[in-house]
Chain A
Amino acid sequence: MLAQYIMLVFVGLLIAPVAGGLIAGLDRRVTARVQSRFGPPLLQPFYDVAKLLGKESMIVNSWQVFCAYMYLLGAVLSVVLLFLQSDLLLLFFVQAIGALFLVFGAMSAPSPYSQVGAQRELMQILAYEPLLILVFVGIYLATGSFQISEILTHEQPLLFKLPLLFIVLGYALTIKLRKSPFDFSTSHHAHQELVKGVTTEFSGPYLAIIEVAHWYETVLVLGLVALFWSTSLWGMLALLLGTYFLEILIDNTMARLTWRWMLSYVWIVGLVLSVLNLSWLYAS
């Protein structure tokens, strides 16, 4: 039992960043195709990180270093909890450590770009946090547990019972993956890479740490998506691919909008959908 747990932890630790990096590479290629370009090689994100790691360290503030590592810690721990099939709410709170330390890191530099990025990131957190909690509450009401190991024993795909909450998760996913229209605290597009919100003041190895942590986060949110069709491997894969492709499409067809719009739009739509779906669950 214990050996199995330890193995799961290592699988999570090692596979997740590889998978996250590959997804990032695939994302860039598919995005390029959607825009009628060729795009970089699949392994480009790994090359990027390797290059960053080789650079000389330069910092604005020692807290930056602390915060970069803490961001990584939060992301890694939450992925480990995911692989250990732990409590969904606990996993959510642990990922919040990472999310917050990224903000702290950006705030530690007295630079206007990173400060604005930090404020916007906080608004993003404010937008997705309540929705994620409600998604987890919905999963609990449908399966009787917050424990992933228990949820996996549920016999029907959760998607059937929680279709609206899946859409709500989609909003949270778009924000978490930093995709348009919700990508104003940092973004992956070439024309914006010079000034990249929260990460503006991070450079070299510390930026590499943040990049790797983001790969872990990508695996985490996709793991949550996978829970909605956990009954069959093919169903899970189809759901993951479909959802991610939809994310790329949305990313490429939507313009970035203001955080004010995001906050009111995501809260209103998200809450209405959540409450509707939760009401069905209470009724049934």
Chain B
Amino acid sequence: MLPALLFICIVVPILAAGACFVVRAQAVRSATVLTTGALLTVGSVLLAAQGAFSFDPGTLGGLGWGTLISVLDFLLLAVILFYGFRLKSRLVQILALLQIAPLAWFELFALDHGAAVLPLHGDGLSLLMVLVISIVGSLICIFAIPYMKKHEEHLHLAKSRQPRFFFFLVLFLGAMNGLVLANNLLWLYFFFEVTTLCSFMLIGHDGTEEAVRNATRALWMNSLGGVAFVFGMILLYSRTGTLDLQALLMAGPLAGAVLLPVALICLAGFTKAAQVPFQSWLLGAMVAPTPVSALLHSSTMVKAGVYLVLRLSPLYAGSFLGTSIALFGGFSFLATAALALGQSNGKKILAYSTIGNLGLIIACAGLGTPAAMSAAILLILFHAVSKGLLFLCVGTIEQGIGSRDIEDMRGLYKVMPRTAIITVLGVATMLLPPFGVLLSKWLAIEAAAHNAPLVVMLALASALSVVYWGRWAGMLMSAPFSREVKPEPLSALTLRPLQILVGGAIVLALFIPWIYDSFALPMLGESVFSVHYGVLTTGAGAFAVYPLFFAVLLGALFAWWAARKSRFVPATSLYMGGANATGSLEEPAFVGPMNKPVKVAFGNYYLESVFGEGKLTRWVNIAALALLLLVMGGAL
């Protein structure tokens, strides 16, 4: 059973990706993506149900899988090097060579190939990741089927580029599952690099000048992480004599010079998770079609970065390195919340919010206490579902109204009521109790309370994020009175993923105790919570999940019923200081100079003089670089 499930989770998406590339018929591609999604969903659930496992796939017709991975590794780096030359990017070339040369030396001369290293291992964290990748990732791929069709119709392409697009999209899922299940650091590195290549290809998909430029930036930044990974891995091997992650973790916390390689691998994680000062590649990635953004932000790519930092957390827990990683993550959370406040571009707000939430996860990993680790693990799951949903919502809105600017989403409820309500609910799950993201934030603040600078950063960042989320949700509801709002037509493959994700984001809150017991508890060993009647109690506080969930649900249903009933209430005109130009609520206007009607116009406060990208980015990057030096110095 286990080999079959692992085959489904890692190899099937890779095969399906090949099928998407080779067979060019739209129907076949759709069927392949749908089938793969179904297989992945079932496979990942069954795999998670099996619980923790270790697995050695043996050999493939006499050839060791390890050897195969090594060969593929060099092939992959050669491809990246090739693109370095094609893009004429000296940086990409150098960074690729800086991986190829040491890796070749390592594999040929330093590494003991005879030593037994367990290739695959699954525990709570990696199984939860597999579920997120397989289910959320599949939903995004399915959403992409109608989305890309429309996208290409809009571009008037002579020849469809969808086979290539779906090849990398589906390949991503397999690579991510491989990454989180890999126990041999060399395997992990291979899958890590596959995600770099996939993201590069997907970001540059549309082939515009801007897309290529941004893809190149993503490539060199992630290659920088790759270089850090290679050197970290080699150093770690030279100091501990093993590449077996479980063996390393079993040996317990490291100290002294052995922390340097760990810090290097964490640096690789930071670049992949687009932490400041590496945030620009993820923001540049916004040029890609929206399913790509959704995938990168929710279930793949950036999650690989935090996974890595979280995975290694027991090795540096309690050290100065841990404390400085916590500060670094906290700063990312704060800086990106401030940057998001200055944005009116919906996708950019989502991007900054992603980096911020990943920063919070990294801060928790740095703290390393069971409570902090629990917060991080829960946040990975809940952020993935809500953020995947919100990106898909923005994609749908963009195709509906032709803009991703939140100012243009004013009154969306009247034009696209379904999408507007789903988006509002999605924002609520990022922002309000009793949903999972907020519960994780609650736990994180309690866990960080003993670290004054960190808790100040979290408090400020959390307030800033309330403003940028709240503002957005409010605009979606803003609409003149209308007795009947007609639901907009959406294709099933667009609507279903949205519905499943929004349902998941809401209902998953009810399963928090169970999720915690199944995925976090076995890993952490000691429980942070005790659960009575769905109230999670820590030593320091309590979060009433069930009572709150039902109280809010009942209240919201009542409010919704009252709002529905109010359709028959007479509409009143707006208050304009007595200068209403017309009685119409559709086009509010007031009497202006020369008795001419002046249309009412308003906008949000973006505080650009303080929080604008142009004002803030440079200082944020300088501060983040200083903190990064602190992290690296802390390891020495």
Residue positions of A touching B, CB distance < 8 A: 56-63, 65-70, 73, 77, 81, 86-90, 93-94, 96-97, 100, 103-104, 106-116, 118-119, 122-123, 125-126, 129-131, 133-134, 137, 140-141, 144-147, 195, 200-201, 203, 271, 274-275, 278-279, 282
Closest residue on chain A to residue B475 by CB atoms: A107
Known: A60-B481, A93-B433. A271 touches B540 (CB 8 A): no
Tell me which residues across on chain B come within 8 A of A87, comparing CB atoms: 442, 541-543
Residue of A with least CB distance to B424: A104
Q: CA separation between A119 and B602, bound complex, in Å?
A: 10
Q: Which of B459, B474, B480, B602 lies in contact with A112, CB distance below 8 A?
A: B602
Contacting pair B605 A77 (CB below 8 A): no
Bound: A61/B569 CA distance, A: 10
Q: Are the CB atoms of B555 and A70 closer together than 8 Å? A: yes
| Bound Cα distance A89, B538 (Å) | 13
Chain A residues positioned under 8 Å from B466 (CB to CB) = 96, 100, 125-126, 129
Please tell me which one of the listed residues A58, A73, A137 contacts residue B570 in the complex, with CB atoms under 8 A apart: A58
A137 lies within 8 A of B445 (CB): yes
- Is residue B575 contacting chain A, with contact meaning CB distance below 8 A? yes
The reply to whether B572 and A58 form a contact with Cβ atoms under 8 Å apart is yes
Produce 1/0 per residue, B542-577, CB < 8 A to A: 111000100110011011101110110111101111
Is B478 interfacial (CB 8 A cutoff)? yes
A134 CA to B480 CA in the complex, in Å? 39
| Chain B contacts with A in 42-97, Cβ cutoff 8 A | none
Nearest A-chain residue to B555, judged by Cβ: A73
Interface size on B, residues (CB 8 A): 66
**B252 contacts partner chain A, Cβ-Cβ < 8 Å:** no
Identify the closest chain B residue to A282 (Cβ).
B452
User: Which residues of chain B in 450-482 are interfacial with respect to chain A, using CB atoms and an 8 Å cutoff?
Assistant: 450, 452, 455-456, 458-460, 462-464, 466-467, 470-471, 473-475, 477-481
Known interface pairs A126-B464, A147-B541; 6 further A-B residue pairs with C-beta atoms within 8 A, sorted by A's residue number: A70-B555, A86-B544, A93-B438, A110-B479, A141-B449, A141-B450
Interface of B is mostly: helix
- Across the two chains, which residue of chain B brings its CB closest to A89? B442
User: Are B452 and A278 interface neighbours, CB within 8 A?
Assistant: yes
**Residue from B433, B540, B558 in contact with A145 in the complex, judged by beta carbons closer than 8 Å:** B540
Q: How far is it, in angstroms, between the C-alpha of A88 and the C-alpha of B449 when the chains are bound?
A: 13
Bound CA span A123–B570, Å: 32
Q: Which residues of B contact A108 (CB under 8 A)?
A: 474, 477-479
User: Are the C-beta atoms of B574 and A70 separated by less than 8 Å?
Assistant: no
Question: Known contacts A86-B542, A110-B479, A122-B467; is A69 also within 8 Å of B558 by CB?
Answer: yes
In the complex, B626 has a CB within 8 A of chain A: no
> CB distance A275 to B452 under 8 Å?
yes
- Tell me whether B446 is interfacial, beta carbon within 8 Å: yes
Q: Is the CB of B445 within 8 A of A89?
A: yes
A244 to B283, CA, bound (A): 48
Bound-state Cα–Cα, A220 to B175, Å: 51
Q: Give chain A nearest CB distance to B609 CB in angstroms.
A: 9
Of the A-B pairs whose beta carbons lie under 8 Å apart in the complex, a sample of 30, sorted by A's number, is: A56-B570, A58-B572, A59-B569, A60-B574, A69-B555, A69-B562, A69-B563, A86-B544, A87-B541, A89-B446, A90-B433, A90-B442, A96-B466, A100-B431, A107-B477, A108-B479, A110-B574, A111-B576, A113-B575, A115-B602, A118-B474, A122-B470, A125-B466, A130-B463, A137-B455, A146-B446, A146-B541, A147-B540, A201-B574, A275-B452
- On whether A111 and B575 interact (CB within 8 A), knowing A93-B433, A93-B438, the answer reads yes
Per the bound structure, the CA–CA distance linking A58 and B568 in Å amounts to 10
Cα separation A129 to B470 with both chains bound (whole Å): 13
Contact in complex: A60, B572 (CB < 8 Å): yes
Report if A140-B449 is in contact (Cβ < 8 Å); known contacts: A60-B574, A116-B602: yes
Known: A108-B474, A147-B541. A62 touches B446 (CB 8 A): no
- Complex CA gap A144/B464 in Å reads 27
A103 contacts B542, CB within 8 Å?
Answer: no
CA–CA, A275 to B559, complex, Å? 41
Distance in Å: Cβ of B563 to nearest Cβ of chain A: 4
The residue in B438, B463, B474, B564 that gathers the most chain A C-beta atoms within 10 A of its C-beta is: B474
Report the separation of the CA atoms of residues A68 and B563 in the bound assembly, to the nearest whole angstrom.
10
Whether B588 sits at the interface, judged by CB under 8 Å, is yes
B622 at the interface (CB under 8 A from A): no
- Is A69's CB under 8 angstroms from B559's CB? yes
Cβ-defined contact, B571 with A73, below 8 A: no
Question: For A109, what are the chain B residues with a Cβ–Cβ distance below 8 Å?
Answer: 478, 574
